[in-house]
Amino acid sequence: MEHKSIVLYDGDCYLCRQTKQAIEMLDWFGAFRWLSLQEYEKRQTISDKQREAMMGEIHIVKPDGKISTGYHAVRFMLARCPLTAPLGVLMYLPKAEVVGDPVYRLIARNRYRIFKNKCTNGVCKLPQ
């Protein structure tokens, strides 16, 4: 049984790769195992609907099999890293997601536009 939470992210997305890099540095207890959606698709058969959902926002598969996505996944990660735990805990306060979730979705929806100048290998484009 996997004891780490598995973080599924878009390996072609600059923001996703930067998030992975930052959280890996902060994950002092090794709570997360990172797997790109592209690698995950090689191992698992997923529907077009599942792929679209995974391309739209970060997913975390917790050791108990429960899945968190988007804002909920980010706050889950931040709460488990010592340096970001206070911020992560604040994100669990009642009504915090009223602001946090729309902000997350706005950034996620526009990440290819926002970071298009950070693409160095030509893969940063709007998904088809």
Better pLDDT: 120 or 6: 6
> Does residue 124 have a pLDDT over 60?
no
Q: Could you report the per-residue pLDDT of 19-75, keeping only the tens digit for each?
A: 999 999 999 999 999 999 889 888 888 888 888 888 888 999 999 999 999 999 999
> Does residue 102 have a pLDDT over 60?
yes
- In this structure, how many other beta carbons lie within 10 angstroms of the beta carbon of residue 62? 14
What per-residue confidence (pLDDT) applies to 125?
Answer: 52
What per-residue confidence (pLDDT) applies to 121?
Answer: 55
Mean model confidence pLDDT for the chain? 87
> Does residue 82 have a pLDDT over 90?
yes
Contacts of 123 (CB under 8 A, 6+ apart): 12
Burial label, 17 (beta-carbon count in 10 A; 0-12, 13-18, 19+)? middle
Q: What is the mean pLDDT of residues 67-88?
A: 96
pTM (predicted TM-score): 0.84
